Amino acid sequence: MERQYDYPVWGTQGGGLVREVSGTYIFVKKPDCPGLDVGDNMPEMWGIAPANTQAHKEMEGEFVTI
């Protein structure tokens, strides 16, 4: 059974899932990269993509249409 998150989570280009905490992305699911684990900071150069509905909604709120 896949874990459900009640906060926005983001997939990373290195695998795993992160959440934003005080402007920093922290792993909530271990990435595929050796040396990183749950609770570690995501490397700044990695990209992210929304992984759940809450993250999609948060991302939509960042864009302003004119």
Q: Is 45 a member of any domain?
A: yes
Domain count, the chain: 1
User: Residue 49 belongs to what domain range?
Assistant: 10-58
The amino acid sitting at 38 is V
User: What stretch of H or E contains 51?
Assistant: none
Q: Is 65 a member of any domain?
A: no
Q: Is 23 a member of any domain?
A: yes
Q: Is 42 a member of any domain?
A: yes
Q: Is 50 a member of any domain?
A: yes
pLDDT tens per residue, range 10-65 = 999 999 999 999 999 999 999 999 999 999 999 999 999 999 999 998 888 765 44
Residue 59 sits at φ, ψ, to 5 deg, of -65, -40
Q: Is 1 a member of any domain?
A: no
User: What stretch of H or E contains 44?
Assistant: none
The amino acid sitting at 47 is G
Given a cut of 60, whether residue 1 has pLDDT beyond it is no
pLDDT of residue 60: 80
**Helices marked H in the chain — which ranges?**
53-61
Q: Is 46 a member of any domain?
A: yes
How far apart, in whole angstroms, are the C-alpha atoms of residue 47 and residue 23? Answer: 15
pLDDT of residue 64: 47
Q: Is 49 a member of any domain?
A: yes
User: What stretch of H or E contains 49?
Assistant: strand 48-50
Given a cut of 70, whether residue 66 has pLDDT beyond it is no
